[in-house]
Structure 1
Amino acid sequence: MKPIRLPEPPSPTFGGGVTDIFEVGFSGATVRRAVVIGTGFPGSENQSLGLVRALGLADKHVLYRVTRPRGGINEWLHWLPVSLHKKLDYLIKQIVLLTSRGKKLAPLPSENGGGRVGLLSVLEADANQIVAMARETYEKDGPLLVVASGRDSISIASSIKRVASQNVFVVQIQHPRSNLDRFDLVITPHHDYYPLTPHAQEQVPKFLRRWITPRDPPDRHVVLTVGALHQIDSAALRSAASAWHDEFSPLPKPLLVVNIGGPTRHCRYGADLAKQLITCLLSVLVSCGSVRISFSDRTPEKVSYVITKELGNNPKVYIWDGQDPSMQMGHLAWADAFVVTADSVSLTSEACSTGKPVYVIGAERCTWKLSDFHKSLRERGVVRPFTGSEDISESWSYPPLNDTAEAARKVHEALAARGWRLRP
C-alpha cells in the first residue's frame, strides 16, 4: 500500500521557535495569554483559533463571542451595527409584549448578555470587561493578545485597542474596511483588495465605489495572505493520521475526498452543480480506490439529496454524516487528492495546506473577489479545475500554502517592534 504523504514541517524561521531578537538581552513585556473574539461562525472563528494555535497559545486563550438576535425579522437586520440591532430587537419585543395581556416587560439586553442558543457556555464579548481584565492582570500576567475575526467583532476589538493600548496587542483578521490604525495588525487575504484593482473598478458604478471594501491600499498594519487562516499544520496532520489510522488505513487507495460547501452571494449554484459533480465523479471512479464525500452546514438539502441519491449506494463511495467533526482532520491527513466546491475559501485553503492535489469545481460560477482568489491559486499551480478526465492515481504536488505560519511570524515581528515578545 502506498504510504500517505504529509507535508513536511516548514523550515524553522525562529531558532527553537523564537528568533534571537526574542531571546538575547530582552527586557520588555512577555505575552503569555490571548483572548479570541468570534461571531459564532465556524469559518471565521477557525481563523483566529488557527493563529492562536500557531503562536503556541492554544491552551492559554479565552473565547468570547459577539452575538446577534436571531429569528424572524432579525434575519433582515444583520447589516446594522450589533449594538443598534440589539436595541431595535429589544424595542420590537417590548411592542409585542405590550400588546399581549399578562406579560411583563423584557429587561433591556446588556452588552454582555443574550447569548445565541447553543453558545451559552461562551462568554459574550464586552469591551469594557476585557479592558478591565487586561489592566488588572497586566502586572502579573503581562500584555493580552486580542485576536478578532468577522465584521461584528470590529467595533469590540477597536474599542479595546483604543482604551487599553498599553496593555493589549490587537489583531483583526479579515478586512475591517477602513481606519486600519484602529488595530495593531490586520491579517487579510490578498483578494480582499480586489475591489481596488482596475478590473474590479470597471464592475462597480462610480457612486458605489466608496462603499466597497477596502477604502485604502494596504499599509504597514496589513499582513496579506493567499487564503484563509486555519488550524491545519504538519503536526496536526500527523496527529490525525495516527488517530484515524484504524479507520482509514484499510481503505483502497487512492483515496479521493470531496468537500462540498454551499452557494454564496459570489458563487451561486444549486442542484445543477451537484449533477455536474456527480458526472465528473463517475468518470474518475475507475482511477479511485475509494471516495469519501462530506457536506458542510451550508450545503443545501437539494444538493446533498441529489448526490446521496446518485452515489450513496456505490460501493466505492462513503458519504460522511458529519457527526464527528474531528473526522475532517482524518480526511485531510489520509486523502491522496481532494475535490472542493469553489464557494469556500476555508475548505480550499485547508486542502491546499497539505501539498496534495486539489481539484476545484464551480470556479467558473464565482464572481468578484472569490473569482480572483481562485485565479491566484491556479496561477500558483496549487489547484486545478475538476473536469472528470483526471486520473486520480497520478499525483502532483506544490509547496503547501503556509499562510497561518507566515501570519504568526508577522505577529512575532510586530510584537518585537513594540518591545514585547511572545512566550507560551
Structure 2
Amino acid sequence: MTKDRGAPPSVWVVSDGRAGIENQGLGLAEAMGRERPIDLSVKRIGWKGALGRLPWWLHPLPRQTLAPGSDIAPPWPDIWIAVGRATLPLSMRMRRWTRGRTMVVQLQDPRMPTGPFDLVIPPRHDRMKGENVLPILGSPHRVTAERLAADYARFEDQLAPLPRPRVAVLIGGKSKAFNLSPERAAEMAREIETAVAAAGGSVLVTFSRRTPEAAKAILASRLRHLPGMVWDGEGDNPYFAFLAAADYVLVTEESTNMTTEAASTGKPVFVLKMEGESLKFRLYHDELRELGAARPFAGRFEDWTYQPLDETGRAAREVLRRFDARSGVG
C-alpha cells in the first residue's frame, strides 16, 4: 500500500512496557510531535517462556516467539523507536523486513554492532561513536513546562501553602552499581532533615519502584514530621507536580532518568550520594556539573541559574532531519 506523502509519519514506540524504559521512547516521540504532526502508537512486547532472558543473537525467529498481545505485525511504521534489550531481536531485523522503508531508531547502548540501525541514541557517558550514533547527555524524557504546570494544578491545594524553599526529594534505589542500605538511608534522611530545617522550608518526597522497602520506611519516617508531602505509593504519583513546585531538587545519583528530568527544569539540582561507584555515572555527573545543572549535595542549599537541559528536543530534531533526508524531503 502506498502511503500518502502528505500524511504524518507513523511512529511506533516499542519496549517491554516498563515505565522507566517506555517513557524514554515516548519522550523522544512526543518531542518529535511538538516539531510536527506524527501518528504515534505504543507497542509493548514480551517473549514466550524464558526467551526474554536470552541474548539478542539467540532469537532466530523473533516474531514467532513473541508472547500473546505483542502487536508487532504489518503495516510497518515509518519510524520505529525501540528501547531496551528486549526489543533488539526485532529492531535488528526491521530494516530487512521492511526493505529499508522503516527508519529504525534504537535508544540506549544496544551492546551490539550498530549496523542494523539507522540511528542509535545512547547516553554520552557510554562513550559510543559512529556515523549512525547520536550521543546525548542523560536520557530522553517526557518533562515539559506544560506537563509540569498541568500536574502542579492537580496538587496545587496541597502544595501552594507549603513554606519555601520547597525541596523535591527524588529517591531511586538499587542498581547494578549502586545500593541504598538502611544505614545510608538513615544518613541521607539526617542530611536532608538538617538542611531543610535550617532553611525553614518543606520537603516533597517521592520514591521509585527500585527503592528498597527498608530504606523507604526509614526516609519516610525521618522526613514526615517536616512540612511537606511524602508520597506513600497510594494514588497518583505527584512526581511531576513536585518538580513544578520545587525551588531545589535532590536526586539520588544512580538514576539517569530522574537527574535528566530534574536538570530540564532549570532549577538547582543536588545529587545525593549512594553506596557504590561507577565510572560512567561519574562522567555523567561531571558533565552536568560543567554545564552548571547539578552539584553534589553538601548539606546546604545554594541558588544558581543555568540553561535548562533539552537533549530530548535535540535528539527529536535530529531524528526528523535524518528521516527527511532519507525520504528526499527538503
The reply on whether 1:47 has 2:24 as its aligned counterpart is yes
Asked if residue 352 in structure 1 is aligned to residue 271 in structure 2, the reply is no
Structure 1 counterpart of 2:310? 402
Q: Relative to structure 2, which stretch is displaced further, 349-358 or 327-336?
A: 327-336
Give the SS at the match of 1:227. coil
Query: Does structure 1 residue 66 correspond to structure 2 residue 45?
Result: yes
- Paired residues for 1:21-60 under 5 Å: 31-56=8-33, 60=39
Whether 2:218 is the aligned partner of 1:276: answer no
Percent identity of equivalent pairs: 32
Q: Which amino acid aligns with 2:107?
A: I
Is contact 2:47–2:65 with CA below 8 Å preserved after alignment? no
| 1:363, distance to aligned residue in structure 2 (A) | 5.7
Q: Please list the CA deviations of residues 256-313 of structure 1 after superposition, one character each: whole Å capped at 9, or x if unmatched.
A: 010111121112331122122112112112204210111111100110121123233x
The one-letter amino acid paired with 1:302 is A
C-alpha contact (below 8 Å) 2:165/2:202 kept by paired residues: yes
Task: Describe the SS at the equivalent of 1:55.
Answer: helix
Equivalent residue letter for 2:319: V
**CA–CA distance in 2 between the matches of 1:166 and 1:367?**
38
Flag the 1:167–1:29 CA change in 2: closer, same or farther, 3 A.
farther
Aligned Cα root-mean-square deviation (Å):
2.8
Classify 1:400/1:333 alpha carbon distance in 2 versus 1 (closer, same or farther; 3 Å). same
| Residue identity matched to 2:166 | L
Q: Bigger relative contact order, structure 1 or 2, given CA contacts below 8 A and separation 6+? A: 1
Structure 2 distance, partners of 1:171, 1:288, is: 47
Residue 28 of structure 1 and its aligned partner are, at CA, apart by: 6.0
1:263 aligned partner, one-letter code:
K
- Determine the structure 1 residue equivalent to 2:94: 160
Shift of 1:31: 4.3
Give runs of aligned pairs for residues 197-276 of structure 1, distance below 5 A.
217-276=128-187
User: Which residue of 48, 67, 85 corresponds with 1:151?
Assistant: 85
Residue equivalent to 2:327: 419
Amino acid at match of 2:201: G
Whole-angstrom CA distance in 1 between matches of 2:18 and 2:60:
18
Distance 2:84 2:124 in 1: 16
C-alpha separation between the residues in 2 aligned to 1:421 and 1:343?
41
Q: Measure the CA separation in 1 of the matches of 2:212 and 2:328.
A: 47
Residue 306 (str. 1) matches residue 218 (str. 2): yes
Shift of 1:148: 0.3
The letter of the residue matching 2:44 is R
Give 1:165 deviation, angstroms.
3.8
Tell me what 1:97 maps to: none
Q: 1:266 to 1:39 in 2, by over 3 A?
A: same
Match of 2:292 in 1: 381
SS at match of 2:81: strand
- Worse-superposed segment, 260-269 or 334-343: 260-269
* Runs of at least 5 residues in structure 1 that lack an aligned partner in the other structure: 1-26, 88-108, 115-122, 135-142, 194-216
Could you say which residue in structure 2 is the equivalent of 1:187?
Answer: 121
Where in structure 2 are the equivalents of 1:126-137 lying within 5 Å? 126=72, 129=73, 132-134=74-76
**1:119-171 CA-partner distances (Å, limit 9, x unpaired):** xxxx4153xx1xx212xxxxxxxx62111000111121121122214431111
1:40 CA drift (Å)? 2.2
Q: Identify if the C-alpha distance between structure 1 residues 345 and 414 changes in structure 2 by more than 3 Å, giving closer, same or farther.
A: same
The aligned amino acid for 1:333 is A
Q: How many residues align?
A: 323
**Distance across 2 between alignment mates of 1:272 and 1:221:** 44
**Structure 1 CA distance, aligned partners of 2:154 and 2:171?**
24
CA distance in 2, matches of 1:260, 1:156: 33
* Residue identity opposite 2:97 in structure 1: V
Which residue in the other structure is 2:204 paired with?
292
1:256/1:337 contact within 8 Å kept: yes
Match of 1:365 in 2: 276
CA displacement 1:11-59 (0-9 Å, x = unmatched): xxxxxxxxxxxxxxxx967543211110122111111000110111898
Residue identity matched to 1:124: S
**Structure 1 residue 235 displacement after superposition:** 2.6
CA distance in 2, matches of 1:420, 1:244: 47
What is the letter of the counterpart of residue 43 of structure 2?
Y
Distance 1:327 1:63, change over 3 A: same
Question: C-alpha separation between the residues in 1 aligned to 2:30 and 2:234?
Answer: 24
1:327 aligns with 2:306: no
1:237 partner letter:
L
Q: What is the CA distance between 1:331 and its match in structure 2? A: 1.0
Task: Tell me how far apart the structure 1 counterparts of residues 21 and 221 of structure 2 sit (CA, whole Å).
Answer: 32
Length-normalised TM-score, structure 2? 0.88
Residue 320 (structure 1) shift = 0.4
Q: What stretches of structure 2 of length at least 5 have no aligned partner?
A: none
Structure 2 CA distance, aligned partners of 1:223 and 1:168?
18
Residue 54 of structure 2 corresponds to: 80
